[in-house]
Amino acid sequence: MMKRKIIFLLLMAVAMHPLTIGADNLLEKKQADSVQVQNKKHRLVIGGYGEAVASRMFYSNNYKRYTNAELYKNDKGYGQFDLPHVVVYLGYDFGKGWSVGTEIEFEHGGTESAVEIEEEETGEYEKEIERGGEVALEQFWLQKTFSPALNLRLGHMVVPVGATNNAHMPTEFFTVYRPEGENTIMPCTWHETGISLWGKCGDWRYEAMFIAGLDADRFGNKGWIHDGAGSPYEFKMATSYAGAVRIDNTSIKGLRLSVSGYLGNSANNTLNATGKYKGLHGTVAIGAIDFLYNDHNIIARGNFDYGHLSNSLEISIANMSTRADSPSPKTNIGKAAIAMGIEAGYDIFSHIASLQSKQQRFYIFGRYDYYDSMFKTVKQMTDEKMWQRQKLTFGVNYYPIPQIAIKGEYSYRILSSQYNNEPTLSLGICYNGLFNI
């Protein structure tokens, strides 16, 4: 009943305020759909974005804080520094409608290793991991443009399902980190290899993709299908396939309305799937709406995402029976997950002519998120309440120039009553832009 009330109240708020969802400058939108569109003066396009964050968490980071919440209620908390994403983008226009786009992403500082001589081990050479993180080729595609209404893209691409995957650069959301709901239950940024058709017709934009399906071996209780897009192997299994679609409309001034969806099987997209998932489909179906508004010195954004997984019980049992050294999380998996969020900010510098003429902006914003990676479970499975969460965030964004933002926020994550709530104070800096000379 509580879940239904929260959903109803948020949807009513959205319906009552249709002009509270917004977008940043289109030139700030990542890869602006085509190398030719981004910058016609240069055949070579170089760009990127990056984030650095300092946070103080006023709650325990002990891994037992959910199983024995009372024991860690009065912990003093902890701090951390982070480099969530640093990205380099290279694109080239070959001419005659052919272009290429590539993107290399360093998450959390990338990875490092070193060889040391251990004095306490009689001079033995020892290789150590110096830094956790990830380096990934997030995009690599070739594109043929026939007309603005018809473009064919082949290769490795972002799957634009949901608000955050479609607009995930740090200047496209107010919070220091990416909006938490979608970033928890879905891959983010979600990138897959496949084929895409996209185009623009007047106030409409469409995109349809044929891609590899997700890997059920990587699904879990906390993140639902979040890790299913990656692969622990040197290749991506593609025994089952999937489709994704997105439609955007901008016919109302300052407002973009969007719907997106995904459908594909997941049970056969891992090694040794024949015996483990025999007879199972593991169909993942996701529907999402999002909207953005940018006018009258207001930027506001919102999203609603709902996902369903078939055979969730059978997949959970199969995953928990795998070897200890397998990459599977080995946890229960919800048959449905949900994420919704809404944020709005007002530019107080819009009332100061000297700052407005310099394109400086200062937004005061608020955001609300509700998400649950085990929103629905089968009767035979325990609904793990720690994954049902709400989050309130208040803060500021200062733009000295349009490509750079300094962010500060206070957030308060609200869990079910048997757990401890999680307040956090964060400061971040970020940039997003093209570097052509």
pLDDT at position 68, please?
87
| pLDDT over threshold 50, residue 141 | yes
| pLDDT over threshold 50, residue 49 | yes
Q: What residue type is assigned to position 388 of the chain?
A: Q
Percentage of residues in the chain having pLDDT higher than 70: 84
Percentage of residues in the chain having pLDDT higher than 90: 68
57, 77 contact by CB (below 8 A): yes
CA dihedral (344, 349, 353, 355) positive or negative: negative
408, 54 contact by CB (below 8 A): no
pLDDT at position 130, please?
62
| Cα–Cα distance for residue pair 212/195, rounded to 1 Å | 10
Per-residue pLDDT tens over the stretch 143-168: 999 999 999 999 999 999 999 999 99
Task: pLDDT band for 328, please (50, 70, 90 cuts).
Answer: confident
| pLDDT over threshold 70, residue 179 | yes
pLDDT at position 117, please?
55
Per-residue pLDDT tens over the stretch 180-233: 999 999 999 999 999 999 999 999 999 999 999 999 999 999 999 999 998 877
pLDDT at position 111, please?
72
| pLDDT over threshold 50, residue 88 | yes
pLDDT at position 4, please?
47
Bridge partners of 56? Answer: 79, 425
pLDDT at position 77, please?
92
| pLDDT over threshold 80, residue 36 | no
| pLDDT over threshold 60, residue 326 | yes
Q: What residue type is assigned to position 260 of the chain?
A: S
| Cα–Cα distance for residue pair 387/226, rounded to 1 Å | 14
Bridge partners of 118? Answer: 124
The mean pLDDT of the chain is: 86
Per-residue pLDDT tens over the stretch 352-407: 999 989 999 999 999 999 999 999 999 999 888 999 999 999 999 999 999 999 99
Furthest CA-CA distance within the chain? 72
Tokens 């299913």: give the residue: 228
Please state the rounded mean pLDDT for residues 44-59. Answer: 95
| pLDDT over threshold 90, residue 323 | no
Task: pLDDT band for 25, please (50, 70, 90 cuts).
Answer: very low
Q: Which of 12, 3, 5 is nearest to 302 (CA)?
A: 12
| Cα–Cα distance for residue pair 286/146, rounded to 1 Å | 30
**Under CATH, to which class is 2-35+49-82+145-434 assigned?**
mainly beta
Backbone angles phi, psi at 79, to 5 degrees: -125, 160
424, 55 contact by CB (below 8 A): yes
Please state the rounded mean pLDDT for residues 166-178. Answer: 96
| Cα–Cα distance for residue pair 127/342, rounded to 1 Å | 46
| pLDDT over threshold 70, residue 7 | no
| pLDDT over threshold 90, residue 43 | no
- For the chain, the three-class secondary structure string (H helix, E strand, C coil) is CHHHHHHHHHHHHHHHCCCCCCCCCHHHCHHHHCHHHHCCCCCEEEEEEEEEEEEEECCCCCCCCCCCHHHHCCCCCEEEEECCEEEEEEEEEEECCEEEEEEEEEECCCCEEEEEEEHHHCCEEEEEEEECCEEEEEEEEEEEEEECCEEEEEEEEECCCCHHHHCCCHHHCCCCCCCHHHHHHCCCCCEEEEEEEEEEECCEEEEEEEEECCCHHHCECCCECHHHHCCCCCCCCCCCEEEEEEEEECCCCCEEEEEEEEEECCCCCCCCHHHHCCCCCCCEEEEEEEEEEEECCEEEEEEEEEEEECCHHHHHHHHHCCCCCCCCCCCCCCCEEEEEEEEEEEEHHHHCHHHHHCCCEEEEEEEEEEEEEEEECCCCCCCCHHHEEEEEEEEEEEEEECCEEEEEEEEEEECCCCCCCEEEEEEEEEEEEECCC
103, 137 contact by CB (below 8 A): yes
pLDDT at position 216, please?
92
Per-residue pLDDT tens over the stretch 400-424: 999 999 999 999 999 998 999 999 9
pLDDT at position 398, please?
98
| Cα–Cα distance for residue pair 181/159, rounded to 1 Å | 17
pLDDT at position 305, please?
98
Q: Where are the domains of the chain?
A: 2-35+49-82+145-434
Tokens 């997949």: give the residue: 315
Enter the tokens of residue 84: 């969530």
Strands 124-131 and 112-118 come out as antiparallel
Tokens 């396009």: give the residue: 45
Backbone angles phi, psi at 351, to 5 degrees: -95, 0
Per-residue pLDDT tens over the stretch 268-304: 888 766 677 888 999 999 999 999 999 999 999 999 9
| Cα–Cα distance for residue pair 22/295, rounded to 1 Å | 8
pLDDT at position 53, please?
98
| pLDDT over threshold 90, residue 86 | yes
In whole angstroms, how large is the CA radius of gyration of the chain? 22
Please state the rounded mean pLDDT for residues 60-69. Answer: 88
Strands 422-434 and 124-131 come out as unpaired
